[in-house]
Amino acid sequence: MKIEREDIKVLYSLDEIREAARKLGKEITNFYKDKTDIIHTVCILKGAIHFFTELVLNIDLDVVYSFVHVTSYSGTDSTGRIRVKSWLDEDLEDKYLLIVEDVIDTGLTLRYLMKYLKKYRPRDIRIAALAEKTAHDHGIDADFVAFELQDQFLLGYGLDYDERFRNLPFLGYLDK
């Protein structure tokens, strides 16, 4: 499939995304404020990087940053296989973890991560996502979600098509 920039329609503008991140940051702060003053975040690279950055700037607690690079997509489809390109190397035992994901779609990546992160024996694991596709029964209970969507292929604001279009300053979609 050949995709050009003009094929991508704006779903949410940068201002709308920033406002959603501001609201989620406040919600996350309120959720954790009576539990801890430090949360350990895990950004799922590469797609969540812009949302992660915007979100943590709006959390009024100490935030420790961690990153994992995990992928399961090729083009517009999930391959059904998880490829881990980089993993955590710090102690997470008894810590409050917040996983930050771009889009919860099939749930494959998050189920994989949750299984392995539980081995580190954190005190608590929560999930924040830029978007959740409600058309799928992905089996993930997300705690903090900016946008709920149907089944659209998303691009921009960190999300890609074969590594292209990540730097678009909006969350867009393709008309199928």
Q: Regarding beta strands 154-155 and 170-174, do their DSSP bridges make them parallel or antiparallel, or are they unpaired?
A: antiparallel
Catalytic residue check, 105: yes
User: What are the angstrom distances between the C-alpha of 162 and each of 1, 13, 67, 96, 148?
Assistant: 11, 22, 21, 33, 24
Determine the residue type at 43.
C
Of 34, 60, 77, 105, the active-site residue reads 105
Residues in the chain: 176
Q: How far is CA 60 from CA 3, 57, 64, 85, 103, in A?
A: 39, 8, 12, 31, 24
Burial class of 4 by CB neighbour count within 10 A (0 to 12, 13 to 18, 19+): exposed
Catalytic annotation, residues: 105
